[in-house]
Amino acid sequence: MGKITGFLEIDRQERRNKPAADRMRNFNEFVIPLEDRDVERQAARCMDCGIPYCHSGCPVNNQIPDWNDLVYRHEWQEAALDLHSTNNFPEFTGRICPAPCEAACTLNIDDNPVTIKTIECAIVDKAWSEGWVTPQIATTTTGKSVGVVGSGPAGMAAAQQLARAGHEVHLYEKQAKAGGLLRYGIPDFKMEKHLIDRRVQQMEAEGVQFHYGVHVGAETSVADIEARHDAVLLAGGAEHPRDLPIEGRDLEGIHFAMDFLPQQNRRVGQEGIGPVEPILAGGKHVLVIGGGDTGSDCIGTSFRQGALSVTQLEIMPVPPERENKELTWPHWPLKMRTSSSQAEGAHRDFAVMTTRLEGESGRVKLAHCVRVDENFEQLPGSEFTLKADMVLLAMGFVHPVHEGMVTDLGLSLDGRGNVEADTRAYRTSRDKIYTAGDMRRGQSLVVWAIREGRQAAHAIDADLMGHSDLPT
């Protein structure tokens, strides 16, 4: 374990953010890493509990107490090896994971969990800067070929694992670059994209062949992909956004978050936005409808583009400031959280329903709202209006896109419209077709996508070879 009395002697110390006034001038990451010696002191706080609840809190089951101990003892390279044994891309999760591990940490009973995410990020960043992350090239080949559709975290994790098992792996992506929502949804200020590029280079050296601009089920038929490979993994995400079918929805200036955010990420990545109308928040009063991660990313992006004001509406009631630990720990608690983007000056309101959007000369100008109770019943007399020159819909995603790949294959869907498969075999209703990530589980988290990609790779390898040595 870390230092036996560490948790009694050392206070929790988190990474700090650059001041809002500085960070809002550009789209760069703004979290300031801790010095190595401070990370080692934080790792010393780990109590190595008899039952490490953080293990099961972490979807990839990172061996957290083990690498905490290694960091405390200055054995960073060994810690990096341990971390990579359960997580293909800890530099992604170390930046953008909501860290359910910390909610599950025993020290969180006292509101002072080990800074697990900070330590994870420090380990992998050091591993890259020291040159410890190298391609792990398979020593034998199996003669089997696997196609993976979708290069988000699920597809990337699966492709990397399958290549390491010796299969020929082809990764098909409809966009110009790899990463899925990591690249085109999550803004650079939360995660810079060169982190994805160097993983792609590592995977190419390991034998994964990336095919960009290939839209399976559109220009490229899914039957063609199916015929080329011994197994196909569908990791196309859950891209069908939830809409707001109210009066005024067809006015100009109302956009889905995922029409707005990718444009900015492409500008930062110097990709060019293509032949579409630019969506920009500069000089506008922006209304974000939806209180989750996507809504926060819309806020931070709008402020950086020069929005006059940003208001975020959430239909759910305001959550409690602090959870009741006896009821929630070690599970992820519902409580008030303020993202770095919200802290940059957004006005937030809860238990609010938008009932109508009003425009002038065809452009949105005003949102009509009403307060609701916990059953979403409107409270009479609570109606109000908000200025809105631009409205961003960030109310989540309903399920994967069905048209094209999913319908062409005639796949069974679950009750929520996701592609049906269990979490052991990851097999769809069609022979040799598998699915993982948001396409299977619905809108979720990067860390869950990595887990499902790894597990699906294990399942595919076992089906192709009769057994699998790949870790899950």
Ligand X SMILES: Cc1cc2nc3c(=O)[nH]c(=O)nc-3n(C[C@H](O)[C@H](O)[C@H](O)COP(=O)(O)OP(=O)(O)OC[C@H]3O[C@@H](n4cnc5c(N)ncnc54)[C@H](O)[C@@H]3O)c2cc1C
Binding residues for ligand X, rule: CB under 6 A, are: 96-97, 149-155, 172-175, 180-182, 185-186, 214-217, 235-237, 258, 261, 293-294, 297, 404-405, 437-439, 444-447, 449
Smallest distance, ligand X to C-beta of residue 175, A: 5
Q: What Cα–Cα distance (Å) separates residue 335 from each residue in 94, 171, 324, 325, 338?
A: 22, 39, 9, 11, 10
Tokens for 320, please give them.
Answer: 């409690």
Q: How far apart are CA 318 and CA 340, in angstroms?
A: 18
Contact indicator for 211, 171 with CB cutoff of 8 Å: yes
Binding partner selected for residue 40 from ligand SF4, ligand X, none, CB under the kind-specific 5 to 8 Å limit: none
Residue type, 308: L
One DSSP character per residue, 112-129 reads ----HHHHHHHHHHHHHH
Residue spans of alpha helices (H) in 245-287: 257-268
Binding partner selected for residue 364 from ligand SF4, ligand X, none, CB under the kind-specific 5 to 8 Å limit: none
Is residue 452 part of the contact set for ligand SF4 (CB under 6 A)? no
Smallest distance, ligand SF4 to C-beta of residue 117, A: 4
Give the interface segment with ligand SF4, choosing from 38-46, 57-65, 187-195, 336-344 (CB under 6 A).
57-65
Binding partner selected for residue 150 from ligand X, ligand SF4, none, CB under the kind-specific 5 to 8 Å limit: ligand X
Binding partner selected for residue 181 from ligand X, ligand SF4, none, CB under the kind-specific 5 to 8 Å limit: ligand X
Query: Residue 326: which H helix or E strand, with range?
Result: helix 325-328
Smallest distance, ligand X to C-beta of residue 380, A: 35
Give the interface segment with ligand SF4, choosing from 26-34, 99-107, 216-224, 286-294 (CB under 6 A).
99-107
Q: How far apart are CA 283 and CA 338, in angstroms?
A: 24
Of 44, 46, 47, 60, which one interacts with ligand SF4 (CB under 6 A)?
60
Is residue 117 part of the contact set for ligand SF4 (CB under 6 A)? yes
Binding partner selected for residue 116 from ligand SF4, ligand X, none, CB under the kind-specific 5 to 8 Å limit: ligand SF4
Smallest distance, ligand SF4 to C-beta of residue 192, A: 18
Is residue 62 part of the contact set for ligand SF4 (CB under 6 A)? yes
Preceding peptide of 65 cis, ω within 30° = no
Smallest distance, ligand SF4 to C-beta of residue 221, A: 37
Contact indicator for 63, 82 with CB cutoff of 8 Å: yes
Smallest distance, ligand X to C-beta of residue 272, A: 17
Of 70, 71, 101, 163, which one interacts with ligand SF4 (CB under 6 A)?
101
Give the interface segment with ligand SF4, choosing from 54-62, 133-141, 185-193, 339-347 (CB under 6 A).
54-62
Contact indicator for 292, 268 with CB cutoff of 8 Å: no
Tokens for 440, please give them.
Answer: 């299977």
Binding partner selected for residue 344 from ligand X, ligand SF4, none, CB under the kind-specific 5 to 8 Å limit: none
Is residue 58 part of the contact set for ligand SF4 (CB under 6 A)? yes
Binding partner selected for residue 273 from ligand SF4, ligand X, none, CB under the kind-specific 5 to 8 Å limit: none
User: Which positions ≥6 away from 391 have C-beta within 8 Å?
Assistant: 253, 254, 255, 286, 287, 288, 289, 357, 364, 367
Smallest distance, ligand X to C-beta of residue 460, A: 16
Tokens for 142, please give them.
Answer: 């199996």
Nearest to 460 by CA among 160, 197, 257, 236: 160
Q: How far apart are CA 255 and CA 119, in angstroms?
A: 38
Smallest distance, ligand X to C-beta of residue 222, A: 8
Q: How far apart are CA 189 and CA 28, in angstroms?
A: 5
- Tracing tokens 């720990």 back to the chain, one arrives at 329
Tokens for 394, please give them.
Answer: 């960030």
What is the footprint of ligand SF4 within residues 412-451 (CB under 6 A)?
447
- Tracing tokens 């359960």 back to the chain, one arrives at 86
Smallest distance, ligand X to C-beta of residue 79, A: 22
DSSP structure class, residue 226: H
Task: Pick the closer one to ligand SF4 by CB: 179 or 248.
Answer: 179
Smallest distance, ligand X to C-beta of residue 220, A: 8
5 CB neighbour count, 10 Å cutoff: 11
Binding partner selected for residue 101 from ligand SF4, ligand X, none, CB under the kind-specific 5 to 8 Å limit: ligand SF4
Binding partner selected for residue 100 from ligand X, ligand SF4, none, CB under the kind-specific 5 to 8 Å limit: ligand SF4
User: Which positions ≥6 away from 141 have C-beta within 8 Å?
Assistant: 166, 167, 168
Query: Cα 279 from chain centroid?
Result: 23
Task: Pick the closer one to ligand SF4 by CB: 116 or 406.
Answer: 116
Binding partner selected for residue 60 from ligand X, ligand SF4, none, CB under the kind-specific 5 to 8 Å limit: ligand SF4
Of 43, 99, 367, 460, which one interacts with ligand SF4 (CB under 6 A)?
99
Q: How far apart are CA 167 and CA 189, in angstroms?
A: 36
Binding site for ligand SF4 (CB under 6 A): 58, 60, 62, 64, 93, 97, 99-101, 116-117, 120, 447
